[in-house]
Structure 1
Amino acid sequence: MKTLTLLRHAKSGWDDAVARDFDRPLNTKGRRAAGMIGRHLRQSALEFDRVYASPAVRVMETLDEVWDGYGRRREPVWDQRMYLASAATLLDGIVRLPDAAARVLLVGHNPGLEDLVLKLARASAFRDAVAEKYPTASVAELTFDVDHWSQVIPGGAVLTRFVRPRDLDPTLGPDTP
């Protein structure tokens, strides 16, 4: 059994004057949401053998806040290929994951993460919710009944969890500052 947890970076600040999209930081709401997701991961007793993440500033800051809420840090493998990666690029990396890692956390960007969930997950209410929208700082957990990551195929996952920040705190919904 393999478990893949996907975390979209938290809400970033479009008001900050940065030269490159890569350098955009989180805004205040994003920091709050990421910390809340970290606490949720801890309360849900989720564990990760490995963490892979885009090296974009907003992903790094998301992980800092998540780890603060989670109560301990996991050092990620920073992978430039994950920056704004497509579902196909992400899947190419997943099938190459080391088999010793049973529970992997991937932290990145949309639309790649949303497209990846839709590509991998079987039909379910959670999948329908992802298809509607995969908001910032949301977590999707996929399980695969396989022994090797190379056996992961489209439609082969059960989407066991989809949590949005607003599910944990309504003030983190889309219509609140």
Structure 2
Amino acid sequence: MKRIYILRHAKAQKEIKTDDFSRKLSKRGKNELKALFESLQKYEIKWDKIYASSAIRTKKTAQIMAKYYGYDKKDICLIDAFYEADEMGLFAFLKHLDEDIENVLLIGHNPALLKLCELLSSLCLHSFPTSSMLCLECENFKNLKEHSAKLVFFEHIKPLKEN
């Protein structure tokens, strides 16, 4: 079985002086990623490949997660098209992944990620907050169909902060 890990980037700074693409992670965002990582310790997670939007906040989120999991940050694939991608573009991207990949992490932006999760599974999500990760399982990428993936877990940052 293949696993698709979907992570929304961490909270970014609310700087008016810079464009959206260039916004950096906030201190809160970095702290939430640490809380997410600690919560994810109950799962066995190892990625064969990490793909992320090339936006600054998403790139930094990928680098932090790579560090936590011992993944070489030089192997992170930054994809410009992920910045403005919709769920169908991400779906098509997944269908073209090399079948040698067993576990893939996608890091991107809403609303595309929320809609992708709903497209791939039978979920109806009310939100997909920053620093939250959803994991789905499927038979393979090439024959991936709408609503065919099974939920493995959804670590939602809101409940993590309440503990």
* 1:76 and 2:100 are equivalent in the alignment: no
Q: CA deviation at 1:101?
A: 0.3
Q: What is the RMSD computed on CA atoms of the aligned residues?
A: 1.7
How far apart are the structure 1 equivalents of 2:78 and 2:38? 23
How far apart are the structure 2 equivalents of 1:17 and 1:160? 40
How far apart are the structure 1 equivalents of 2:24 and 2:60? 7
How far apart are the structure 1 equivalents of 2:40 and 2:16? 29
How far apart are the structure 1 equivalents of 2:41 and 2:49? 16
**Structure 2 counterpart SS, 1:132:** coil
How far apart are the structure 2 equivalents of 1:140 and 1:157? 12
- Structure 2: runs of 5 or more not aligned: none
Counterpart of 1:53?
52
How far apart are the structure 2 equivalents of 1:158 and 1:115? 15
Counterpart of 1:141?
135
**TM-score, normalising length from structure 1?**
0.84
* 1:33 and 2:25 are equivalent in the alignment: no
When residues 71 and 159 of structure 1 are mapped into structure 2, their CA distance, relative to the original with a 3 A threshold, is closer
How far apart are the structure 2 equivalents of 1:96 and 1:24? 30
How far apart are the structure 2 equivalents of 1:44 and 1:134? 20
Count matched residues.
161
Q: Structure 1 counterpart of 2:21, which letter?
A: F
Counterpart of 1:151?
143
Q: CA deviation at 1:100?
A: 0.1
Q: CA deviation at 1:67?
A: 3.4
Q: CA deviation at 1:158?
A: 0.7
For the 8 Å contact 1:39–1:66, the answer to whether it is kept is: no
Q: Structure 1 counterpart of 2:108, which letter?
A: G
Report sequence identity in percent.
27
**Structure 2 counterpart SS, 1:82:** helix
How far apart are the structure 2 equivalents of 1:165 and 1:90? 23
* 1:170 and 2:144 are equivalent in the alignment: no
Q: CA deviation at 1:79?
A: 1.0
When residues 16 and 30 of structure 1 are mapped into structure 2, their CA distance, relative to the original with a 3 A threshold, is farther
- Structure 1: runs of 5 or more not aligned: 172-177
